[in-house]
Every structure is written in structure tokens, then in C-alpha cells.
Amino acid sequence: RVRGVSNNAILFVTSLLLSKLPVMLLLLTLLLFAAGPSCASNILVVLLDDVDDLPITRAKGFPNVTHFFSTNGVIYNNAFVTTPICCPSRASIFTGTYQHNHRTLDNTVLNGCDGSNWDFNVAPNSMGKRLQDIGYRTGMFGKYSNNYRGDKVPVGWDTWMGLLGNSVYYDYTINRDGKNEKHGKEYKKDYLPELIIRNGIEFMTKKNTTKPWFAFLSFPTAHEPFDAAPEYQGQYKGSKPPTVNYPSFNHTNDKGKHWYVRSRPPIDHHASKYNELGWRRRLQSLQTIDRGFLRILNAIDHKTTSIIFTSDNGFYFGEWGMILDKRQPYENTIRVPMFASGPLFNTHKGASIDTVVLNIDIAPTVLQIAQSTQKRSVNVSYSL
């Protein structure tokens, strides 16, 4: 009994509070959700295209990137993709699932690369959608799928700058938050890797928002046609891919190999020169990524931001007679660079880790960083 207050008054106030309790709880939940996950880290994923994990690629292609992660993060020495071709690998990266679950079987719409399969199995199960659902501000910049048509903004992305079609550097169209935008051949305005870096930094440094952010920067580099920025063209003269010294180099007509490998003609002088040219141009194109990554680090608080840096698949440089290609699950096409840094990796800072990791491990890692309690996928994928 409260002095000076009747029992009827107490009962009235109590019943009023109880009647409003569901509404109050709902409002509290919405306020907590709007504020975003507590103590969650900002997250950046950098995805390259067709970049192998040869030691010389690390040393010459992105030395600044390698140095940063070797001192501030971890380097995974045995990182592999489950399917060494662009669209299936990207579906696995986005969802953390194997090809037989996301059903993107190759780079065609008929077999799941964009279209209804992608809309049903990939987009709603992507890292972007899952993080958006728990209060992250999400942004995707660059190549999405090989057959993205620009007809919609996929679910899960608050800020969207998606490339229509496959990797190019000039003369392309992007869909910017629902509106298609044509670009030409002017380097300062149109060079796609630079456009991704600039827009990514703008998104990551946006003011007046309390939500943590998730940025997915997906570069065309170093996919053919290997267009380098003007300042890097002409570098690496005389450089040759180390694969020319591999036993598998120009090893053709082996009856024990896959039919496609058996069908390859021996590498002649002209094909060898083309292979070397492709190697040098890839290294040249990677310089924009290497320098651009430093600009990103200077723009964000990289000590509190979780960063994962990788590629969708590796690449051939003449192994088994295959020039500038991928697809078959030989080591150079399934082995990719995989680097990580941020609060989750601080206990292993500076480590070089030999544990085998896969591209399907990226999504569960991102969800763990974001402190998501959402149900895991059906795959045996693990956090890095």
C-alpha cells in the first residue's frame, strides 16, 4: 500500500501499464534496432577478379596490401575457392554456400548467374541482406554477377553501384541506386577501379549516421582486358610469369586429363608472348588497387574496421597449355590471396596461417564480426 494512494488508483495505473507493455516493448525494440548492433565493427570486403596467389603476384602486384596485412592482420597461405569461375564463386562468397546449394552452376543466366535463381537463392541470402537485417548500413560497388542487367537493385543494399555485365574498365554502364549511368573512355571520370575507390570511400566516411557500415568493393581487376591506369602502363618490362618454370607449363595432350585440357594445343611462340603480355598487364592494372587500398586505409579507422581482401578465383599462365584462363580445379585456379585484419584478428596480428580456408568461410566470418545470431547456412563453412 502506497500512502495517500488508493488501491483502485494503483490497480488502474498497473492495468494501464500492462495494456501498453507490448507497444512499449515494440518501440524499445525498434529503437535498439535503429541504433544498430552494439559494439559492432565496420566491415570492408575487397574482392578482386581472376587474381592468383603466386608469391610474385603478391610481391609485384600489391606490395602495399601485403605489407599492411602482414603487420596489421593475418595472411592465409592456403586459401582456396570451391568453384574456380566468376559467378559461382561470387555466389559462394555472398552466401557462404557451396555451388550445389546456391545453384549458380556457371556464368550463364540459364544456369543461375543472375535471373530467377539468383533472385531466389543468392540475393536474399547474401551478406548484404543479413547485415542490413540487423541494422548495418550496406553498400556494394562494382562487379556483382557476370549477367547483372541493371533492371533492379538487389535486396540487401542501401547504397548500390552495380556494374552491368562482366568486368571492364571503360565503356560500361553502372546502376546507381536504381538508375543506369553510362560511362565512356575518360580516365579521370570513367576508369572503373578508381570510380569504385572514390565511391567506396565516400560511403565509408559518410557523416551523420550512427549505424555501422558494411562495404563490398568488387573490382574488375585483374580480369581481361587488363586495362591499367595510364601512370602504370609500361611497367614490368621483361617480366615473365613464374609458371614458365613449372613442370605443368605447356603440358598438353595428356590422356589422363579432363577433355578440355586434353584439347588444348601446345603453346607456340606467339601464344607464349601473349601469355607474357597478359601477365605484365595484370601486374600493371593491380597498381591502382595497391595504391587505392592505402587511400582507403587513410580515410577510415582501419584499427577498428574489419577488412577481408581476396579474389573470386585464381588464374592459369600456361599450366596444362591453358593461357589466361581458369575453370578447372588445378591449384593455380583455386588458390587465391586471402588476407584479414580487424578486432577479431588482433590476437593473431602479424601471423602467417597455414590452415586451409575457403571462399565460403567469408560470409560466416562477416556475420560473426557483426555479432549476428542468424541461423547458419546448411554448409560446413566456418569463420576465419
Positions annotated as catalytic residues are 86
Residue type, 32: L
Question: 301-326: b or e for each residue (b if 16 or more CB lie within 10 Å)?
Answer: ebeebbbbbbbbbbbbbbbbbbbbbb
Q: Residue 176 pairs with which residues in a beta bridge?
A: 161, 179
Q: Residue 172 pairs with which residues in a beta bridge?
A: 183
Instruction: Tell me the angle at which helices 269-299 and 63-72 cross, rounded to the nearest 10 degrees.
Output: 50
List strand residue ranges (DSSP E) for 6-126, in order. Answer: 42-48, 73-80
Q: DSSP readout, 239-305?
A: ---GGGGSTTBT----TTS-HHHHTPPPP-HHHHHHHHHHHHHHHHHHHHHHHHHHHHHHHTTTTTE
Distance (Å) of CA 325 to CA 62, 81, 106, 316, 332: 21, 15, 14, 5, 10
Residue type, 188: K
Write the DSSP symbol of residue 218: E
* Under 8 Å between Cβ of 172 and 150: no
* Under 8 Å between Cβ of 68 and 341: yes
